[in-house]
């Protein structure tokens, strides 16, 4: 059986950005870059806590694992936000 899929006409190109939009994108990009840097710093702090708590005994190992998990998630989120920030800065 053959399926016929109608083709959509191509979308027109988006209108050019206004100077105000470019300025806003640049400001958002800088703000997001700052957020990514803060998240990376927070991840480093959580890694330090995880290393310290990992040596304090069995009771602290669970906290160390949670801190390491939080550090990994913060690093991932910082990377995604950093990419978005660079895209915004490129547009602005």
- Residue pLDDT, tens place only, 52-75: 888 777 777 888 888 899 999 999
Percent of the chain with pLDDT over 90: 50
For residues 73-85, give the mean pLDDT: 93
Measured CA to CA, the distance from residue 43 to residue 78 in angstroms comes to 9
Is 12 inside a domain boundary?
Answer: no
Is 36 inside a domain boundary?
Answer: yes
Is 2 inside a domain boundary?
Answer: no
Is 7 inside a domain boundary?
Answer: no
Is 61 inside a domain boundary?
Answer: yes
Measured CA to CA, the distance from residue 65 to residue 46 in angstroms comes to 10
Is 45 inside a domain boundary?
Answer: yes
pTM listed for this prediction: 0.72
- Work out how many domains the chain is built from and give that number: 1
Measured CA to CA, the distance from residue 72 to residue 49 in angstroms comes to 13
Is 1 inside a domain boundary?
Answer: no
Task: Tell me the DSSP string of 7-48.
Answer: PPPPPPPPPPPPHHHHHHHHHHHHHHHHHHHHHHHHHHHHHH
Is 10 inside a domain boundary?
Answer: no
Measured CA to CA, the distance from residue 10 to residue 75 in angstroms comes to 38
Which range of residues forms the domain containing residue 33? 19-91
């Amino acid at each position: 059986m053959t399926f016929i899929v109608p083709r959509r006409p191509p979308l027109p190109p988006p209108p050019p950005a206004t100077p105000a939009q470019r300025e806003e994108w640049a400001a958002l990009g800088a703000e997001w870059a700052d957020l990514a840097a803060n998240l990376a710093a927070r991840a480093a702090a959580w890694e330090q806590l995880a290393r310290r708590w990992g040596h304090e005994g069995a009771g602290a190992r669970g906290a160390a694992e949670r801190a390491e998990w939080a550090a990994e998630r913060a690093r991932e989120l910082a990377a995604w936000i950093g990419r978005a920030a660079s895209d915004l800065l490129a547009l602005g």
